[in-house]
Structure 1
Amino acid sequence: MAASATTSSKRFIEAIADELGISDGRYEQANDSYLSLGRWLNRPASTIAVYAPAVYIQGSFGLGTVIKPLSLEEEYDVDAVCEFKSIAKHTVSQKRLKTLLGTEIEAYRKAQTMVKPLGEGRRCWTLNYAEGAQFHMDIVPAVPNGAEVRRMLEAHRFDARWAGTAIAITDNERYNYSVVSDDWPRSNPKGYLQWFKSRMLVVLTERKRELAKSINATVEQIPDYRVRTPLQAAIMILKRHRDIMFQDDEIHCCPISIIITTLSAHAYNGEEDIAEALLSILSGMDRYIQRDERGRAWIRNPSDPMENFADKWAEYPARERAFYNWLAQARDDFRRIANMEGRTLIAEALTPRMGAELAKRAEGRLGGTGSLLRGATSAAASSTPSFGSTPRVPSTPKGFA
């Protein structure tokens, strides 16, 4: 698939990305929520302050690939980690660590007069914010695990450059959840984020430099969420295309976001135009799916190459078929769009693939010029979050990225 597009299609795809993007206020709300919790966990009266708990964002908010929900009934999922910096995994059970964190989060919930009860997931605690807030925060308890992961990767001759920030996390379905053990589930959201940023660093830096110059600021003063790269925009578009295609998915075969994000970042070649990035990514993303000696698919976690993001495909072959069906459909859809002229024609073609409301809003947006700078879009017009007053119900997550 040639990485070229008409001027009309380029502008329309850019408008789609702008419409999918969330406001700066939403990012600030996510930042404020985890910073507030972090301050609580480290206050003098905290029962866990002695363990140096550090709270940070992971998932799509950290990666800058969050998209607006399909409907008012869906919530934004703010994924966070609470890493106990001064606890080693061989000194505490997963259950004990999770209980320690849960006790303090429950105290925080009461202090903040949150009405909804604290939820418990397989690996996390869930803070459900007020009615109408349209978001909840999942907090995963963790302990440092960088040294062990580095040794393991180097022993198997894998790239260990991102291993230093690896963590061990809790999982209440693990066989050893209640006992002290060295065998914990692994994760490395900070390492993954650094790898992801490395795939778009040149363009990200240039976008931040442009924005800093326009508002008479320094590059260091510009948070990453204030700009959007073509890689991030392409991933956002692909995630929405996926959402629409699998809107009625009853057998849970919808391709997960971390797979789309990882393959897209691998296939991105530094394009400075969203449409060209999108076409290039679609053309090459499946080349980064490896196969083992038994023919099973491997999509390695770049921050932990011994983890396979496609590990469920062998157990559930329908998921692998669903991914390739989605990829073929996305290639066909955006190849056709790339050759079109005229925003009305493009809107009609995209309606069944991206949603009628989104296509209509993008068509209306083309009265202006659009921008890759978040601060220049209407989606970022307000510096304070606007959450409305309609109660929301959490949706089923489609992957942490």
Structure 2
Amino acid sequence: MPTKSAEEFLAALADELAISDTRYDQACRSYESLGDWLHRPESSVRQYDPQVYVQGSFRLGTAIRPTNEGEEYDVDSVCVLRELDTGDLSQSELKTLVGDEIKAYRRAKGIQKPVDEGNRCWVLTYADEAQFHMDIVPAIPNSAQQRVLLEARGFDTRWADSAIVITDRRLRNYEDVTVDWPRSNPKGYAEWFQERMGSIFEERRRMLAETTQASVEEIPTYRVRTPLQSAIMILKRHRDGMFEGRYDDRPISIIITTLAAHSYEGEAKVADALYAILSKMDDDDFIEDNGEIRIIRNPSDPLENFADKWPLHPEREEAFFEWLDQARHDFSQLAKQVERRQLVESVKPRIGIVASRAAERMDTPSSMLRPAAAAAGIGAAASSEPAFPNTRREPTSPKGFA
């Protein structure tokens, strides 16, 4: 188990990595403003009942500050036209329909930078001082078809109601009217992730409501941070530092987030959550092997493999295990430290200058920290270090999500 100093340092590190509430509020106002625009009387998509919502790390509460002050925040969002079906139009037509409205929104709001087109999304870049851009993915509902697909394979259908299909201009059938569209389910994934956080999420939300004399319903979910979210934030920053200059090889965030959420078992402290996650991330229940490829299933769509690029890019598979081994080593060293200088030096090669700022933050009274850190329940010191597997675990047969 980590020393008390290591526990305090990890809690402070999570606070140092956290995006401010102001940033979250700014992101919320931006996609809500776009949603209002799409519902205005003159909107060309109003009749299709558009809905805009955030996805990715901002929705999950695992976004971290950029490594330097000049980088932008990337806010991922979805624009679902809920009264359309795959038989009504092509991916190309949907993307153009949504894109025209986003371009009109940019002009009306006086946003200077032009709207860029990505393979799956439109990119709306705000003024430099705002320091963020929003990726908007056009989509339409896909719940009925998704349920049929999952039932046919014996998979869990709990998250099928929020399934969508999205556009991708790289596909051969991009211009065709067909039912074969790329699938996605960010809402379902977020619901699964919140379920994995367990009762501790609701407990901390209630604590925050009592502290601020507000109702629980008035507390946005992004204002609550659990040990699972904090651990993921720390692991993502460690990944970023380790793969600086090797961006294409680095383990993608959705793989880290999914394996961490699977490995989390309700630990109440950031340190306990982090070490439990590191010890189990490569468990063969989570990384399957069908005899040909490795599979990290999307819990909200078990037919999707988050590791589908590994066979084409085996260096990415190697990079994942390389990173996991390094993270286990670094945080194992951290767990034994007591002095602040040693705490910082044990992880600074991968974590960077933020490690020094976290050590300074340890002087801040807990009552002044974000509620998640103040509620971390820092315990007594322990002398033994975390026990991680000595060798890489080789996945066996798939377990499935049935």
Offset at 1:219?
A: 1.5
The equivalences for 1:105-254 within 5 A come to 105-249=102-246, 252-254=248-250
Partner residue, 2:291: 293
**Secondary structure, in 3 states, of the residue corresponding to 2:310?**
helix
Query: For 1:293 and 1:256, how far apart are their aligned partners in 2?
Result: 23
1:10 to 7, 14, 29: 7
Does the aligned pair in 2 maintain the 1:229–1:372 contact within 8 Å? no
> Does residue 75 of the first structure (1) align with residue 72 of the second (2)?
yes
List gaps (5 residues or longer) in structure 1: 379-401
* Superposed displacement of residue 324, structure 1: 0.1
Counterpart CA distance in 1 for 2:249 and 2:355 is 25
Return 5+ residue gaps in structure 2 as ranges.
Answer: 375-402
Q: Helix, strand or coil: the match of 1:142?
A: strand
Q: CA deviation at 1:376?
A: 7.8
Could you tell me how far apart the structure 2 residues matched to 1:90 and 1:204 are? 40
Residue equivalent to 1:63: 60
Q: Hey, what's the Cα distance between the residues in 2 that align with 1:96 and 1:214?
A: 49
Q: Could you say what the CA RMSD is over the residues aligned between the two structures, in angstroms?
A: 1.4
Query: Per the alignment, in what secondary structure is the counterpart of residue 134 of structure 2?
Result: strand
What CA distance in whole angstroms lies between the structure 2 residues aligned with 1:315 and 1:372?
48
Q: Indicate if the aligned counterparts of 2:188 and 2:300 stay in contact, CA closer than 8 A.
A: yes
Any idea what SS the aligned residue of 1:337 has? helix
Separation (CA, whole Å) in 1 of partners of 2:337 and 2:37: 54
Task: Map 1:254-269 onto structure 2 (within 5 A).
Answer: 254-269=250-265
Instruction: Return the alpha-carbon distance in structure 1 between the equivalents of residues 368 and 148 of structure 2.
Output: 41
Q: Measure how far apart 1:53 and its partner are.
A: 0.6
Aligned residues with identical type, % of pairs: 55
Match of 1:304 among 298, 301, 311: 301
Shift of 1:224: 0.9
**How far apart are residue 372 of structure 1 and its match?**
10
**Aligned-pair CA distance for 1:370:** 3.7
Q: Which has the higher contact order (CA 8 A, sep 6+)?
A: 1
Answer whether contact 2:204 2:372 (CA < 8 A) is retained.
Answer: no
Per-residue Cα deviation, 1:148-181 (whole angstroms, up to 9, x for no partner): 1011001100111111100010000111111111
Residues 340-381 of structure 1: per-residue CA shift (max 9 Å, x gap): 1122210122211200x2011111111124479735889xxx
Question: How much does 1:132 deviate?
Answer: 2.3
For residues 15-36 of structure 1, the C-alpha deviation after alignment (integer angstroms, 9 at most, x for no partner) is 1000000110000001000000
Match of 1:282 among 278, 283, 293: 278
Question: Aligned letter for 1:365?
Answer: R
- Maintained 8 Å contact 2:11/2:373: no
Contact 2:15 2:369 in 1 (8 A): no
1:367 pairs with 363, 377, 380, which one?
363
- Residue 276 of structure 2 aligns to a residue whose secondary structure is helix
Question: Secondary structure in 2 aligned to 1:82?
Answer: strand
Give the Cα–Cα distance (whole angstroms) in 1 for the partners of residues 327 and 96 of structure 2.
Answer: 44
Distance 1:224 1:373 in 2: 17
In the alignment, does 2:86 pair up with 1:92? no
